Structure 1
């Protein structure tokens, strides 16, 4: 199937769980293994035939703009007036991304193993899927706290775990964007879109062939660096 040609990278959050580390910088610029988190994420786009990369900004947006000034391939979706969460942020960026399905990534995960976007592109089937999430068993998602969000059947179709141990989203997916226009809220999470796709039987998952670390707290940084060093 044709792969998406656009990438949305979320970088607008406040990073409050990072405490003092985000007092003077946005979380995407926190260094992990000597490089900013956002650069680890952008590495995953290398080698893909992408037409557009869009990064949204809100907290300390000027620092992210300056950091990306040398990347003419990256466009900025400005949310400085109001932070819109993931769903609202993706919808606000559609004039830059276009109407076709898009890759979506968080900027606070780091990956090892197979390229997450390449894996997603190889499994993407828009005839069956509205969304395809990259997942790991909760216990294998380094630095993450929680028991998992999804259960996956033999065909890869997802349901919510509803309190059972399950699989956890690790910060990369492909999504159709046409149904975003039907959501009345201005500020909303992509979980709303995913739950709608689950109800239609069009939400699918894919197990990441490698490791991943959730860099959401200060104590996750050494865990992420150890993961990256062990490759």
Structure 2
């Protein structure tokens, strides 16, 4: 089973406007706790935890100082999700890893526990946790995927990718670019029928924009 997790925290948070002028989005508070800490709570018990950082990375490093959590600082360029994950592999190891976005709040079972229970490396190269649009609080754009009867994911549909997954990382080395999205790897996995999905039964809130903070606190019943 995977025992390493990558938490994405390097982005500029431009949709947050003035809220990210002086601090990175993962340190914006929801219900009195930084978004990054909400995400880290979900990773308790995982042996290796890595947080990437770029924008105002010194604040991320200071926040995690003394916690035993590794920080993968991307400098001078931000590397996007695929490039960032590949850059962090020396800290994560060679086995499949969890990845988790830090700009979401969950109301329901621990998403990583669900992924762990459903992971089948014999038939999967990636397992993405998705939520129906109706339970994707604060989502402003259409869905990302549809789930086929055999568990494979196809592009377009009413399922929203939550930012939580288990993924094999070997395919990252075949991508020549330094900066690239994980979509590149997912596309290759889909072509071989090994991009799979799992539906989340709870609620998930996108906290990528300012109004998402209030929505998330409502989800947490604060």
Asked if TM exceeds 0.5, the reply is yes
Partner SS, residue 201 of structure 2: coil
Matched ranges for 1:34-53 at <5 A: 34-46=32-44, 48=45, 50-53=46-49
1:99-118 matched pairs, under 5 angstroms: 99-118=94-113
User: Which TM-score applies when normalising by structure 1?
Assistant: 0.94
TM-score normalized with structure 2 length: 0.97
Task: Tell me how far apart the structure 2 counterparts of residues 188 and 27 of structure 1 sit (CA, whole Å).
Answer: 21
Distance 2:213 2:75 in 1: 27
Partner of 2:15: 17
2:188 is the alignment partner of 1:188:
no
Query: Where does structure 1 differ by over 4 angstroms across 4 or more consecutive aligned residues?
Result: none
Structure 2 equivalent of residue 176 of structure 1: 168
CA distance in 2, matches of 1:177, 1:210: 28
Once superposed, what is the RMSD of the aligned Cα atoms?
A: 1.0
- In the TM superposition, 1:133-152 aligns within 5 A as 133-152=128-147
Cα offsets for 1:91-118 (capped at 9, x unmatched)? 0000000000000000101111110000
In the alignment, is the contact (CA less than 8 A) between 2:128 and 2:165 conserved in 1? yes
**1:8 & 1:151 partners in 2: Cα distance?**
25
8 A contact 1:61–1:80 mirrored in 2? no
The aligned residue for residue 115 of structure 2 is 120
Q: Distance in 2 between matches of 1:89 and 1:150?
A: 23
Confirm or deny that 1:76 pairs with 2:74: no
How far apart, CA to CA, are the structure 1 residues paired with 2:42 and 2:66?
A: 18
CA distance in 2: counterparts of 1:113 and 1:205, whole angstroms: 18
Distance 1:193 1:17 in 2: 26
User: Hey, what's the Cα distance between the residues in 2 that align with 1:139 and 1:17?
Assistant: 22
Report the count of equivalent residues: 222
CA displacement, residues 18-55 of structure 1 (integer Å, 9 cap, x when unaligned): 00000010000000011000000000012x3x221001
Q: CA deviation at 1:209?
A: 2.4
Task: Structure 1: state its 5+ residue gaps.
Answer: none
